[in-house]
């Protein structure tokens, strides 16, 4: 039988291979590092198999429980009896690698990978057997925990995959046609954020309670720099100049597709220096616990949700990672920093390239002291001290 330690030590090969756990449960190890739980059966002298999820999203105990339920519960009889063939997950990955991935930035690739996880209930289903009801049910369950826009975009991926399957004659009809008519309507709402001084102080204290050094450091760095979470998760050491206190975010990591320069406060430099000494100063700054992978924005979001389980006196107002940008904008505007400087630091650049270059050069001398003042302000609220004086510019 497998153990988590044994699974982590499985070596990659040039071709994929199965390793047995027991009683029909296997782990399919792919050359790209992906590990897929697979349940295999012999029915009427024919081999059938069902892929039930990816490791480590589906843990060892959960995979065994799913195997037992599939084998013992009559509700799965029809699913188990389905003949081996191309699954939705296999075809979706094929479509993604050939048609979509080459055109996407790294941050966009991370979003697609996340949305494929949202579609996990469909991944092991035969491509030709998926019904409209299954698709709608999967997306409606997703809407119970995620915004309507996330559901809509995830449904869009299903539609693109099915459309490609229809075009290549893999399916006789498209069960996702006009899927948007049955999905929740997107209503834009402000991101939950701490915008009042007492709330910000409690939030900054709460961040200290995050156990993981990597996750705590990532969220604190975002708090001090108010970059987008995708920019932080994709950050590399070659973007950072600790001596000069500057972070050069490349265009391919930004939402605007423009280079972005972030002055680093002493607090931000200290966070990065701790990580450098712990993990070395090469490659990505925020490695995931899964070797070879990175921390993703949804992982940071889950850590923010966990803060709501703190004791009442230490519990911050509900806040999302993106909310740190609203916090910074509110505080800096209330303290009458130049609005153009604030917008430049938020990455809201002019689209005109020559104007943007001019703004970047002109505002940097102001953005550097502004970012240090803001970091000192956050610390003063966390520690219950008087707020720092405004610099004399």
What confidence category does residue 314 fall into, taking pLDDT thresholds of 50, 70 and 90?
A: very high
How far is it, in rounded angstroms, from Cα 200 to Cα 206? 10
DSSP letters of 262-331?
Answer: EE--HHHHHHHHHHHHHH-SSSBSSB-SSTT-B--HHHHHHHHHHGGGS-GGGPPPP--TTHHHHHHHHH
pLDDT for 355: 47
Assess if residue 57 is contained within a domain: yes
What are the two backbone dihedrals, phi and then psi, of residue 174, each rounded to the nearest 5 degrees?
-100, 110
The answer, yes or no, to whether residue 353 has pLDDT greater than 60, is no
User: For 47-51, 293-297, 365-369, 389-393, which range has the lowest pLDDT when averaged over its residues?
Assistant: 47-51
- Provide the CATH number for the domain around residue 76: 3.30.160.390
Identify whether residues 347 and 225 lie together within a single domain: yes
Q: Mean pLDDT across the chain, nearest whole number?
A: 85
What confidence category does residue 48 fall into, taking pLDDT thresholds of 50, 70 and 90?
A: low
Among candidates 220, 285, 230, which has minimal Cα distance to 254?
Answer: 230
User: For 4-13, 31-40, 73-82, 377-386, which range has the lowest pLDDT when averaged over its residues?
Assistant: 73-82
Asked if residue 115 lies in contact with residue 93, where contact means CB atoms within 8 angstroms, the answer is no
pLDDT for 326: 94
If one counts every other C-beta atom within 10 angstroms of the C-beta of residue 371, the result is 23
What confidence category does residue 83 fall into, taking pLDDT thresholds of 50, 70 and 90?
A: very low
pLDDT for 70: 63
Residues 38-60: what's their mean pLDDT? 71
Read off the pTM: 0.57
The percent of residues in the chain predicted with pLDDT above 90, rounded, is 44
What confidence category does residue 169 fall into, taking pLDDT thresholds of 50, 70 and 90?
A: confident
Identify whether residues 240 and 328 lie together within a single domain: yes
The structural domain count of the chain equals 3
Question: Helix, strand or coil for residue 247?
Answer: strand
The answer, yes or no, to whether residue 22 has pLDDT greater than 50, is yes
What are the two backbone dihedrals, phi and then psi, of residue 146, each rounded to the nearest 5 degrees?
-135, 155
How far is it, in rounded angstroms, from Cα 200 to Cα 180? 39
Identify whether residues 359 and 263 lie together within a single domain: yes
pLDDT for 215: 96
User: For 148-162, 248-262, 339-353, 369-383, which range has the lowest pLDDT when averaged over its residues?
Assistant: 339-353
Assess if residue 390 is contained within a domain: no
Among candidates 300, 317, 310, 316, which has minimal Cα distance to 228?
Answer: 300
User: For 61-65, 73-77, 96-100, which range has the lowest pLDDT when averaged over its residues?
Assistant: 73-77
Q: What angle do CA 168, 173, 176 make, to 5 degrees?
A: 100
CA atoms within 13 A on the CB side of 174: 15
pLDDT for 191: 73
Exposure letters 268-294 (e unless 16+ CB within 10 A, then b): bbbbbeebeeebeeeebbbbeeeeeeb
Identify whether residues 8 and 64 lie together within a single domain: yes
Residues 365-379: what's their mean pLDDT? 97
Assess if residue 327 is contained within a domain: yes
pLDDT for 323: 94
The answer, yes or no, to whether residue 217 has pLDDT greater than 80, is yes
Alpha helices by DSSP H, the chain: 4-8, 60-72, 77-81, 88-95, 106-118, 120-123, 132-142, 148-167, 197-207, 213-225, 229-233, 266-279, 297-306, 323-334, 339-345, 353-383
Identify whether residues 115 and 263 lie together within a single domain: no
| Tokens at 196, concatenated | 């009042």
The answer, yes or no, to whether residue 306 has pLDDT greater than 80, is yes
Asked if residue 284 lies in contact with residue 385, where contact means CB atoms within 8 angstroms, the answer is no
- Provide the CATH number for the domain around residue 122: 1.10.150.130
Assess if residue 209 is contained within a domain: yes
Identify whether residues 92 and 79 lie together within a single domain: no
What are the Cα distances from residue 364, in Å, to 81, 246, 264, 267, 344?
65, 10, 12, 19, 9
User: For 30-39, 162-171, 288-297, which range has the lowest pLDDT when averaged over its residues?
Assistant: 288-297
Identify whether residues 112 and 77 lie together within a single domain: no
Identify whether residues 160 and 299 lie together within a single domain: no
Q: Domain boundary at 45, 62, 83, which?
A: 83
Assess if residue 391 is contained within a domain: no
Asked if residue 88 lies in contact with residue 95, where contact means CB atoms within 8 angstroms, the answer is no
Assess if residue 321 is contained within a domain: yes
Q: How does pLDDT run across 171-199, given as a tens digit for each residue?
A: 888 888 877 777 766 555 667 899 999 99
Assess if residue 141 is contained within a domain: yes
The percent of residues in the chain predicted with pLDDT above 70, rounded, is 87
pLDDT for 77: 44
Residues 67-73: what's their mean pLDDT? 66
Range of the domain at 314: 197-383
Identify whether residues 74 and 98 lie together within a single domain: no
Among 13-27, 258-272, 336-350, top mean pLDDT goes to 258-272
What are the Cα distances from residue 143, in Å, to 227, 275, 333?
27, 36, 35
Q: Which residues pair with 294 in a beta bridge?
A: 287
Identify whether residues 281 and 370 lie together within a single domain: yes
């Amino acid at each position: 039988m497998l153990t988590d330690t044994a699974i982590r030590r499985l070596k990659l090969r040039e071709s994929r291979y199965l390793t047995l756990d027991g009683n029909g449960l296997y782990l399919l190890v792919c050359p790209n590092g992906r590990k897929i739980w697979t349940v295999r059966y012999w029915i009427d002298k024919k081999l059938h198999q069902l892929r039930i999820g990816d490791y480590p999203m589906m843990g060892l105990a959960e995979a065994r429980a799913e195997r037992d339920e599939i084998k013992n519960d009559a509700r799965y009889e029809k699913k188990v009896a389905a003949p081996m063939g191309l699954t939705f997950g296999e075809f979706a990955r094929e479509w993604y690698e050939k048609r979509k991935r080459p055109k996407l930035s790294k941050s966009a690739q991370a979003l697609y990978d996340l949305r494929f996880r949202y579609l996990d209930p469909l991944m092991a289903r035969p491509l030709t057997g998926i019904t409209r009801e299954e698709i709608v049910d999967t997306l409606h369950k997703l809407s119970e925990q995620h915004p309507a826009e996330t559901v809509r975009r995830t449904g869009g991926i299903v539609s693109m995959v099915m459309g490609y399957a229809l075009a290549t004659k893999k399916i006789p009809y498209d069960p996702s046609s006009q899927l948007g008519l049955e999905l929740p309507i997107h209503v834009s709402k402000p991101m939950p954020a701490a915008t009042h001084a007492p709330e910000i102080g409690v939030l900054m204290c709460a961040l200290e309670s995050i156990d993981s050094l990597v996750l705590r450091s990532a969220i604190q760095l975002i708090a001090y720099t108010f970059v987008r979470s995708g920019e932080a998760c994709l950050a590399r050491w070659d973007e950072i100049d600790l001596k000069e206190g500057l972070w050069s975010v490349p265009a391919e990591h930004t939402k605007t597709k423009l280079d972005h320069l972030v002055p680093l406060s002493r607090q931000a430099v200290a966070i990065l220096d701790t990580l450098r000494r712990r993990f070395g100063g090469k490659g990505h700054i925020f490695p995931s616990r899964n070797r070879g992978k990175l921390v993703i924005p949804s992982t940071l979001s889950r850590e923010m949700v966990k803060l709501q389980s703190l004791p009442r006196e230490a519990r911050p107002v509900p806040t999302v990672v993106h909310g740190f940008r609203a916090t910074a904008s509110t505080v800096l505007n209330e303290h009458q920093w130049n609005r153009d400087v604030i917008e430049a630091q938020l990455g809201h650049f002019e689209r005109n390239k020559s104007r943007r270059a001019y703004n970047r050069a002109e505002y940097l001398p102001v953005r550097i002291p502004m970012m240090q003042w803001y970091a000192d302000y956050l610390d003063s609220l966390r520690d219950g001290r008087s707020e720092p004086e405004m610099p004399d510019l």
